[in-house]
Amino acid sequence: MVTLLEGKAQQKYIITKVAGDHALTTRLAELGLRIGKMVTVINSAKSGSGLVIYLAGQRLAVSQSMAEQITVTSLDESENIPTLPLTNIPVHSSCVVYQLTGDKAVRKRLMDMGLTRNTLIQVYHVAPLGDPIELQVRGYKLSIRKRDAANILVKELQL
């Protein structure tokens, strides 16, 4: 994990921690810079024009002091992490969707539920017999069957 200030241009990152006082974290949350959000660094801080990121369809210029407070994990570095089916992820762990498998109808249904590539997922609860699995995706809770969860390949993250 590195700070957003150390981010490289044209790379995607997931925000894992936002430090600083309450006023700063509130201001960053209002801008959309929250834990679990994906950002793309357009211009790194090392370039002369300053740090520019792409977040939720808009470009934002971020000061160096703010960027130092934001800890991120590179999605490109997660290429070394093995992919696992979602059924193998323990409760209260976070992961990122890497690939959806199965037939076309299953993949379409999962994508309609918001489970798309590079989406952050937290396994919230697993029923006593393992079926269904409750997930937190994009700010809402979603319950899916174990057979559907086996079609979701993920990479585990440490948030």
Q: What is the pLDDT of residue 139?
A: 82
Greatest pairwise CA separation for the chain in angstroms: 56
Of 93, 104, 91, the C-alpha closest to 151 is 104
Residues 104 and 22: beta-carbon distance below 8 Å: no
Please compute Rg for the chain using Cα positions.
17
Reading the chain (159 residues) residue by residue, the pLDDT tens digits are 788 888 888 888 888 888 888 988 898 888 888 888 889 999 887 766 678 999 888 898 888 888 888 988 888 765 677 889 999 999 999 899 999 998 999 999 999 988 988 888 999 999 988 889 999 988 899 999 999 999 999 998 877
pTM above 0.85, yes or no: no
- Per-residue pLDDT, 145: 93
pLDDT of residue 154: 92
**Roughly how many angstroms between the first and final C-alpha of the chain, as a whole number?**
10
CATH of 2-76, one of 2.30.30.90, 1.10.1040.10, 3.40.50.300, 2.130.10.10: 2.30.30.90
Domain residues of the chain, as ranges?
A: 2-76, 81-157
CATH fold for the domain made of 81-157: SH3 type barrels. (2.30.30)
Res 48: pLDDT: 66
